[in-house]
Structure 1
Amino acid sequence: MKNLHRNIVKLHGYCLHKRCMFLVYEFMEKGSLFCALSNDVEAVELDWAKRANIIKVIAHALSYMHHECIPTIDHRDICSNNILLNFELEAFVSDFGMTRLLDLNSSNQTSIDRTYGYFALGESDVYNFGVVALEMLMGRHLGKLLTSLSSSQSVMPNEILDKRLPPLNHLVAQDISLVAAISFACLRTKLKSRLTVKWVSQQFLSHKKPTMNSLQAVPLWQLRNKETYTVGESET
């Protein structure tokens, strides 16, 4: 990949031995995001500010892969197991075993097995990003929980936040509100209303953010089913 994004794990080399192939990647001291969220001590170390930053850099890396990388790339298996953390808890996209080069002139879709809980037809990377972002808010793997959350008429976004962390303060409330709104917008069931990773990345760079009230006033099912998303500029 030409001009590799800094938040994509670097491949240093490979070795072929008989029928085995070994890939040598950049070492990530903290392991996967999934393992960090599964460990109570490490999960607390991932405070709200760090989680918001991790979600943003994942979005920027995916946007690079889809729109700036030469050739452009569809990862196809974005999940918390495939997001690695270094010693400073910076996030890096890894595991390109299911990757394919994007043909922008083709509407063909490939049906394959992906990590459970992450599969969606069409723009799968942006859907899977939404799942990972929601896992960061909740502090655990979603599995079938996503269906029950989005269909409930009463669950509010602030009620699903990881209870291992202290309540949100004013310094990070807007960032977490933005993550909640965008993550559910990425999970829309209608492909025509789903976002692109480029637009998601731009939203995180925008200075226009929702207020903390958005976590307390809009039920989860409305966030997911809302046809229009108004934070920041419109997608072009």
Structure 2
Amino acid sequence: MGTPSSSSSSSSSIWVLPILFLLHILQPTHGRNPPLLSPQPLLPPIPSSPSSSSSMASPPLVMQMVIVYEHHHLDKELVMAVALSSVAAALIILSAVLAYIFWQRNQRDTDSDSKNGQGSGPNMSKFSSLKMMSNRKGSPTMVGYLLLESATSNFSEDNILGEGGSGFVYKACFDGGVLAAVKKLGGCGQDGTREYESEIDLLGKVQHPNIISLLGYCVHEDTRFLVYEFMQNGSLETQLHGPSHGAALTWHIRMKIALDIARGLEYLHENCNPPVIHRDLKSSNILLDSEFNAKISDFGLAVTGGNQNKGNTKLSGTLGYVAPEYLLDGKLTEKSDVYAFGVVLLELLIGRKPVEKLASSQCQTIVTWAMPQLTDRSKLPNIVDPVIRNTMDLKHLYQVAAVAVLCVQPEPSYRPLITDVLHSLIPLIPI
């Protein structure tokens, strides 16, 4: 009977140990946190027989190991939290330092630009950035003179694209291979200054696929500069009357150019508020990109609605394109642009210049020369530009000639609106 009693006592001791351990953890500490590892015994001694003491020594050791493990686990979490906080702080400090360096560099660029006589405004070291800013609403960007000088190879003669009445136009190559056209205007005077400012203001507000984009401008001493988007095929005047004599311009390309011009004028006359009258529409102010899409350029003489009275506007324009009522009476309306469009349409159709000298030292306009033959269907095919002669449907030829005749009518009330011209030309262009 002694053996079973000993076994029962040992078994009950094993079950008592976990219960006493829980009681030890849950008992109140009276505001004190006992250490996780204590040199004192974790549990009070339990009287037992010598035979059971060896079996009771193991549980307290295992419990100590568990507590030690938890202690190490808490230490690792603390170390990781401190490490992550240190990394975040270092990144914040690094970002602040880089932002300060960037601000200092921009400040030096702005100061340098001011010293070079460029006035206020951002100095763009990359033309791509200038182009991005110009695409936003508002005025075009001021460009540093040194940047223009570098992009044009000090305005080399090899980079001259053309010459207008107010100066040369240069090809400019900016960082990244971005091309642009830089118009250099020297000795402008009061009228030139007014036209310069008017073009910047107007093109800063106008955005249309068939209107040239003004990317930037610059004032250096007495010289002014305008920076336009680059048009690979130059002007319509050069294509028609230059060395190639229109060889690259097929019938369909010419009609597409006429359609593009009409769309640009319709935007100026119908969609701008107040309406804009270009006042100097001509083939040299029609620029062509790599795919012969046409854009109207040179808005220095443009006026807006309400400013076209004779007393307010100085008589300006180009001989051969100026409408009779404007030339004789100073009367300027949207129909004046329609007349000039009719002259450009005749250039595309016939291939002749708007004004040509005769043997007797007199001049003859294309309108005077062509008008009697435009209305005669038997003579019309013979006056068409030889480059495109016999390459179009005769019905289309007669229709284009009829539109041109209406546009160059001496009486402005007989001329169509540019919207009507546009609707007449659309069916002639293949999709």
TM-score greater than 0.5 by the shorter chain:
yes
Report deviation, 1:88: 1.1
Aligned match of 2:410: 189
**Aligned equivalents of 2:221, 2:392: Cα separation in 1:** 56
The total of aligned residue pairs comes to: 203
Partner SS for 2:413: helix
CA contact (8 A) 1:7 1:93 kept: yes
The 5 Å alignment of 1:41-190 reads: 41=244, 43-103=246-306, 108-109=309-310, 110-120=313-323, 121=326, 122=332, 123-143=335-355, 144=364, 145-151=366-372, 156-170=379-393, 173-190=394-411
Gap change, CA 1:91 and 1:174, over 3 Å in 2: farther
Question: Per-residue deviation at 1:87?
Answer: 1.2
> Partner amino acid for 1:150?
M
TM-aligned CA deviation for residue 13 of structure 1: 1.0
In structure 1, the gaps of 5 or more residues are 210-236
Equivalent of 1:13 in 194, 212, 216: 216
Q: What secondary structure, in the 3-state scheme, does the structure 1 residue paired with 2:309 have?
A: coil
- Using CA pairs under 8 Å that are at least 6 residues apart, name the structure with larger relative contact order, 1 or 2: 1
* Aligned with 2:424 (options 162, 183, 203): 203
- TM-score if structure 2 supplies the norm length? 0.44
Contact 1:31 1:84 in 2 (8 A): yes
Q: CA deviation at 1:19?
A: 2.0
Q: Which residue is equivalent to 2:359?
A: none
Tell me how large the CA RMSD over aligned residues is.
2.3
Structure 2 CA distance for partners of 1:202 and 1:135, relative to 1, 3 Å: same
**Residues 161 and 52 (structure 1 numbering): CA distance in 2 closer, same or farther, change over 3 Å?**
same
Q: How far did 1:116 drift?
A: 1.6
Query: SS at 2:391's partner residue?
Result: coil
Structure 2: gaps spanning 5 or more residues: 1-202, 327-331, 356-363
Contact 2:234/2:287 (CA < 8 Å) preserved in 1? yes
SS at match of 1:13: strand
Partners in 1 of 2:283 and 2:348 — Cα distance? 9
Separation in 1, partners of 2:308, 2:288: 34
Letter in 1 for 2:383: I
2:236–2:286 CA contact under 8 A, matched in 1 = yes
Deviations 1:71-130 (A, max 9, x none): 421100000010011111111100111111122xx7724452311211112421000000
Kindly state the Cα deviation for residue 151 of structure 1 after the two structures are TM-superposed. Answer: 4.5
Which AA in structure 2 matches 1:75? H
Percent of aligned positions that are identical = 36
Task: Give the letter aligned to residue 297 of structure 2.
Answer: S
Superposition deviation, residue 132 in structure 1: 0.1
Kindly indicate whether the alpha-carbon contact (under 8 Å) linking 2:215 and 2:228 is maintained by their aligned counterparts in 1.
yes
Q: Which structure: larger Rg?
A: 2
Would the aligned equivalents of 1:40 and 1:164 in 2 still touch at CA under 8 Å?
Answer: no
**CA–CA distance in structure 1, aligned partners of residues 206 and 315 of structure 2:** 29
Take 1:199 and 1:169, find their aligned partners in 2: how far apart are those partners? 22
Partners of 2:345 and 2:392 lie apart in 1 by 19
Q: TM-score, normalised by structure 1?
A: 0.77
